[in-house]
Amino acid sequence: MPELPEVETTRRGLEPYALKQRIVALEVHEPRLRWRVARDLARKVAGQRILGVGRRAKYLLLHLKSGTLLLHLGMSGNLRVVPARTPRLAHDHFDLKLGSGLALRFNDPRRFGSLLYTRGDPLRHRLLADLAPEPFA
């Protein structure tokens, strides 16, 4: 399982590629992750700009104007920045395609990762609300 330093490293690695980018499309290839990816999620995020790339505990937070994507890598997941036309590999479950021509591609052989969306304050989301203080704060 990616530990907190690896999740923070992932956040820092994504930020220069994702920040201020417009989401062109969310393509879900396998919705059955830890929690099923919502069927209407692609519609909710298409056209939105990524305003911030954050982290709370082991959750990556992609802040949009209308809400926040909460992404968890699970036990074996990783999020890579690839050219959007790069052929998919086994266990590539979704692509968040960006206006730059790049995609944030989620690969998770064990499918314990997750992609969720919240309109409200992400820190009040049921998965984040009762977490302990950040160790690096």
135 lies in a domain?
A: no
40 lies in a domain?
A: yes
129 lies in a domain?
A: no
Our answer to whether residue 2 is catalytic in this structure is: yes
Round to whole Å and give the CA distance between 9 and 133: 19
122 lies in a domain?
A: no
Number of structural domains found in the chain: 1
Residues of the chain with pLDDT under 50: none
- Active-site residue identified among 3, 16, 87, 133: 3
Output the pLDDT for position 137: 65
Strand 92-98 relative to strand 78-83, pairing: unpaired
Q: What is the pLDDT of residues 50-80, one digit of tens each?
A: 999 999 999 999 999 999 999 999 999 999 9
CATH number for 21: 3.20.190.10
Our answer to whether residue 27 is catalytic in this structure is: no
Output the pLDDT for position 2: 81
77 lies in a domain?
A: yes
User: DSSP readout, the chain?
Assistant: ---HHHHHHHHHHHHHHHTT-BEEEEEES---SSSPPPTTHHHHHTT-B--EEEEETTEEEEE-SS-EEEEE-TTT-EEEEEETTSPP-TTEEEEEEETTSEEEEEE-TT---EEEEESS-GGGSTTTTTPPPPTT-
Containing structural domain, residue 82: 4-116
Output the pLDDT for position 84: 98
